[in-house]
Chain A
Amino acid sequence: MATPKTGKKTTQRKNLYLFLTIAFFLAIIAIFVFDGYMGVYGTVTVTTQEREEVIEPDHWLRDDYGYFTWTEEGQDIYFHYELDNRRFSTYSADVEVAVWFGEAKHSDLISQAVAIGGFDKEELTWTIDTDALRPADIPEANDYEFSVIITRDGVERRIIVHVSSLLPRY
């Protein structure tokens, strides 16, 4: 027969397992939150005309094909690329930005190595003048598209820009 002392001990042991279960569960949730926060995140902001579009890092998880935006011919497009290093160590990578027409590279915009300290940020900006981009074989009354491809760590992020012609179409 259990004495009150051993009964108390058994209850304590029983509660210990319950507390351990809760602790393990909370630890798993904490890992989800912690690992979700940690990492290197790239956010692109595209500004053209009176419009600002922010391409969040998780956009590329949903849509691997690319991000689509548009502007009118003659407008400048401003790109702001923010790299957020949420790690304890320094993050080093080569960042390349280029304009592509289909499978043909048109021009390099940025090609530089970045080294970002732990929990620090790096910002890259560039501007594209759509007046200077029109391919010679596309009539001026036609719209055209090009891609801005950002390559970091061998991973490509494609932003497709549709440029509307201002000339009337007949």
Chain B
Amino acid sequence: MKLEYVLFGFGILFCLAGVGYLAAQYVSYLSELWQLISLLLTVGMFTCLGKYFERVGW
């Protein structure tokens, strides 16, 4: 049972790493202004996601 959670965790980690890598590749072609806006939106997105999970009771 615990092994399943570990594998599940690895799966999520690899997915996030893959998406992060692709995003980093793409972001390098963005202009500096859009990079800044994307960064702010990312911060906002994770803040709201954190708040959502906090409200859900995680």
Does A associate with B in a complex?
A: yes
Q: Which residues of A contact B (CB under 8 A)?
A: 10, 13-14, 17-18, 20-21, 24-25, 27-28, 31-32, 35-36, 61
Known interface pairs A24-B41, A31-B41; A17-B34 also in contact (CB < 8 Å)? no
Cα–Cα, bound, A13→B52 (Å)? 9
Choose among B37, B42, B52 the residue that contacts A18 (Cβ–Cβ < 8 A).
B52
**Mostly helix, strand, loop or mixed at chain A's interface?**
helix
Residues of B within 8 A of A18 (CB): 48, 52
- Tell me if B44 and A36 are in contact (CB < 8 A): no
**Mostly helix, strand, loop or mixed at chain B's interface?**
helix
Give the A-B contact count at a CB cut-off of 8 A: 45
Could you list 20 examples of A-B contacts with CB < 8 Å?
A13-B55, A14-B52, A14-B55, A17-B49, A18-B48, A18-B52, A20-B48, A21-B45, A21-B52, A24-B41, A24-B42, A24-B48, A28-B38, A31-B34, A31-B41, A32-B26, A32-B38, A35-B31, A35-B34, A61-B29
Choose among A14, A35, A61 the residue that contacts B30 (Cβ–Cβ < 8 A).
A35
Chain B: residues with Cβ within 8 Å of the partner, total of 17
Residues of A within 8 A of B38 (CB): 28, 31-32
Residues of A within 8 A of B42 (CB): 24, 28
- Tell me if A10 and B41 are in contact (CB < 8 A): no
